[in-house]
Structure 1
Amino acid sequence: MFGYVTAYKPEMKMKDFYKYKAYYCGLCHVLEERHGLRGQVTLTYDMTFLVTLLTSLYEPETVHEKHRCMVHPLKEHDMLFNEITEYAADMNIVLTYYHFLDDWKDEKSKTALVGLHTYRKLYRQVEEKYPEKCRVIRKCLAKLQNYEKAGETDIDAVSGCFGKLMGELFLFRKDVWSKNLWKMGFYLGKFIYILDAYDDLEKDRAQGSYNPLLQMADEEGYEERCRQMLTMILAECSNCFEMLPCVENIDILRNILYVGVWNKFEEKSAAEDTAGKSRLEEEIKGEDRGEL
């Protein structure tokens, strides 16, 4: 469900792109240092966004180093990391563990079972440090799973479960900014969940899997309704973001929130338009040949 909160490079200044990449590489470095290769493979741009946001807000002491890595062994790369990067790395482990747990409960797949055994010890270590946060995440995912098993069609209720999970992730510490951070995470989580459902619709339909948009998808104006729903949710998220006193990295953050998060939707929407035009052209050709 992750992989949607990314930057849009064509509209980024080069200095901002390289800094964003340095946060990404910094998170990769910290994941490897704290959790080994198993941690490194959980790297996502979504958590890079969280690191960039919280670093901008709290301005912690940030380390700038250059390192080589397995992916780029020939050239050293800039890396930025701090205490927030460590927090994001730990949360990556929690999310990965519960991803495998969810897959095991749903599909009983061998891959999920292997993943559970691989990440259980790392998860237990993080849980000792963040027991309350892990409890909240576990509760949100359990409720979400119950909704999905019941075939719940209330998209607001279902997406709200993942929204609450993201809200919890955004709470790095309890302070004056907690309320806005939680709400921002909540709306971004709802956006991600609905966008993921939109992206997976045809696959879920073909496999007979749960998808809260299946019923809506057969109604007229489905594409526009999805766009309006996502726009309204993201507007709420953006309002909360603009109330935070972020100065550093502000252009990077706005690029991601106002443009980057739409990448997948626009790609899928364009593909649907192309497919629709192709089908229409075939129907017209069929009519010309007297096939219809």
Structure 2
Amino acid sequence: MFGYIVINKPEMKFKDFDIYQSYYCGLCRTINDNYGLKGRVALNYDMTFLAILLSGLYEPHNQSSYRRCFLHPLKKHLEIQNEYVEYAAKMTIALTYLKCDDDWIDDQKMSKQVYKKILNHSYQSIKKEFPQKIEMIEKQLDKIHEYEKMEDVRIDDISGCFGKVMAEICCFQDDLWQDYLREFGFFLGKYIYLLDAYDDIEKDLKDNNYNPFISHFQDEHFEERCHDLLEMMISRAAEAFEYLPIEENVEILRNIIYSGVWSQYELRYQKRMEDKK
């Protein structure tokens, strides 16, 4: 379920893209410093968004530096690091570790189990640091797997499980803003789950895997139904987001919430329409 919370680059200002990239590079550096190359493989844009969101809300002191990396050895890049980038790095490892189980269930790829074992020590360390948070995430992901074995499951129930996962991840601490962060994360998580199901439906039909949209796929109004559901989820997420007093890099965050996530839907919708033709 990675890869959906991204920017819409054509709609972003150059200076904002440079800032976004500096958080991405900072996250990459933090993962590499703490977990090595094995963790760097897990790097994704979704947790870059989390780092920018929490940094914008809490406005920590940033450590900024220009550094080279093995992927870009000829030119130094700006890297931003702070406690929320570090938190995003830990959540990157935790979610990647747990996603290995989901991928194993769906595809039975041994590489996922091998990678899970490689990440196990790092994951257990993160779990020890955030026991209640990780326990809640594990519980909700297990619940998703239980729902997938049942014949009649409401889309709202199963997507709500991943909503609770993202709510837990977005809520860094119990404070004045926790309710809005949880509400934002909840509906963003439901959006991610539903878009992932929409994206995978042909593959899941072919492989006989669970997908909450399978019973509706042949309906005349399938595309309209999916669009309406996704719009409802991201609208609720955006509503909660606007209650947060974020000023720093708010245009980057709005680009992602109002445009970037929809660009991912549009790509998949257009591909499906082309395949039908």
Match in the other structure for 1:129: 129
Match in the other structure for 2:261: 261
Distance in 1, matches of 2:47 and 2:112, equals 22
1:1-292 to structure 2, matched below 5 A, reads 1-104=1-104, 108-276=108-276, 278=277
Tell me, yes or no, if the aligned pair for 1:8 and 1:259 is still in contact at 8 Å. Answer: yes
Tell me, yes or no, if the aligned pair for 2:23 and 2:79 is still in contact at 8 Å. Answer: yes
Counterpart residue type for residue 84 of structure 2: I
Report how far residue 101 of structure 1 moved.
Answer: 2.8
Deviation sequence 1:208-237 (CA, Å, 0-9, x none):
111100111111111011111110111100
Counterpart residue type for residue 246 of structure 2: C
Stretches of structure 2 that go unaligned for 5 or more consecutive residues are: none
Counterpart residue type for residue 226 of structure 2: C
Report how far residue 142 of structure 1 moved.
Answer: 0.6
After superposition, the Cα gap between the structure-2 partners of 1:273 and 1:105, relative to the gap in structure 1 and judged at 3 Å, is closer
Report how far residue 107 of structure 1 moved.
Answer: 5.5
Report how far residue 275 of structure 1 moved.
Answer: 2.9
Tell me, yes or no, if the aligned pair for 2:42 and 2:96 is still in contact at 8 Å. Answer: yes
Counterpart residue type for residue 273 of structure 1: M
Counterpart residue type for residue 138 of structure 1: E
Counterpart residue type for residue 72 of structure 2: H
Tell me, yes or no, if the aligned pair for 1:151 and 1:212 is still in contact at 8 Å. Answer: no
Tell me, yes or no, if the aligned pair for 1:30 and 1:85 is still in contact at 8 Å. Answer: yes
Report how far residue 73 of structure 1 moved.
Answer: 1.2
- Percent identical among aligned pairs is 45
Report how far residue 245 of structure 1 moved.
Answer: 0.2
Greater Rg over alpha carbons, structure: 1
Q: Tell me, what secondary structure is at the counterpart of 1:172?
A: coil
Distance in 1, matches of 2:169 and 2:250, equals 20
Distance in 2, matches of 1:152 and 1:92, equals 32
Distance in 2, matches of 1:239 and 1:147, equals 29
Tell me, yes or no, if the aligned pair for 1:152 and 1:158 is still in contact at 8 Å. Answer: no
Distance in 2, matches of 1:271 and 1:102, equals 25
Distance in 1, matches of 2:206 and 2:101, equals 24
Report how far residue 272 of structure 1 moved.
Answer: 2.3
Q: Tell me, what secondary structure is at the counterpart of 2:16?
A: helix
Tell me, yes or no, if the aligned pair for 2:106 and 2:209 is still in contact at 8 Å. Answer: no
State the Cα RMSD in Å.
Answer: 1.2
Counterpart residue type for residue 139 of structure 2: K
| Runs of 4+ with deviation above 3 angstroms | 102-109
Give the TM-score normalised by the residue count of structure 1: 0.92
Distance in 1, matches of 2:209 and 2:53, equals 34
Tell me, yes or no, if the aligned pair for 2:68 and 2:75 is still in contact at 8 Å. Answer: yes
Q: Tell me, what secondary structure is at the counterpart of 2:149?
A: helix
Tell me, yes or no, if the aligned pair for 1:24 and 1:45 is still in contact at 8 Å. Answer: yes
Report how far residue 38 of structure 1 moved.
Answer: 1.2
